[in-house]
Amino acid sequence: MKLYPCEQGSADWHRLRAGVITASMFSTARKRVGELDERQQLYVAAVRAGADPKQAANDAGYKVAPRSSIIERALRGEPVGDYSEEAKGYAFRLAIERISGQPLDEGFETYAMRRGHELEPFARAEHEVQSGLIVQRAGFVLSDCGKFGCSADGLISSDGGSEYKCFLNPEKLRTFHVDNDASEVFEQAQGCMWITGRQWWHIGLFCPALASVGKQLWWRRFERDEAFIDSLRTDLMQFSQMVDRYEAGLREPMKVAA
């Protein structure tokens, strides 16, 4: 990895991220539509392997053999599914940024983004107090190939790291504090571990409004999941190829009608 100790939200930070597939956007990059669900995949795989359709349907949990245009295409060995419009839009934005070397939004920050950057030092300090660990400020981390990156809020010893969220949405706050559910940030945590080569990652939710009851920081440790990272890497490499195709198309000379 390549570590750039820049201030998050600074001009250098925005420039480094331009054209880079970042961990906070990994879920967007992997969004696909029109694909087979788990039961459909089991059915199609069994039939294509030579199983009797009725038995394959039963093994997949169907009462009768499923019928749909997607399944029929899959049975014929044709590709099914495509990237979502959101994923395609993100890929096209990255292609433009790779050409210009600058962020397409010119470094625009929403209130939530600015608030997160301002509160990050306080979240890091509280995390150190609660965990007894020393958190090193990181800035932006870039993969060796230069196509993937993450804004690591902190690196801990030689094996760990940290990310701090400062959500305002009460539904998200409830999900963490009441449901004890951090699944929304699991993918980003694994992505950060993939890029940095770390073995564990702390995700913290910082909410100053809860300081009076001692719950200003909720945090959890995530262990590295190699199987998930392998799947993540495969998906992101395919997404990166779409960005490459968009970039190549944009660099082609414009054809002028006679």
| pLDDT tens-place string over residues 85-118 | 999 999 999 999 999 999 998 667 777 778 888 8
Give 180-220 pLDDT, tens digit per residue: 888 888 999 999 999 999 999 999 999 999 999 999 999 99
Q: Report whether CATH 3.90.320.10 matches the domain 2-24+85-246.
A: yes
Residue 218: φ, ψ to 5°: -105, 130
Domain boundaries in the chain? Answer: 2-24+85-246, 35-80
Stated pTM of the model: 0.82
Furthest-apart CA pair in the chain: how many Å? Answer: 72
CA distances to 111, 145, 246 from 242, in Å? 31, 16, 6
Q: How many CB atoms lie within 10 A of CB 115?
A: 14
Q: How far apart are CA 87 and CA 137, in angstroms?
A: 30
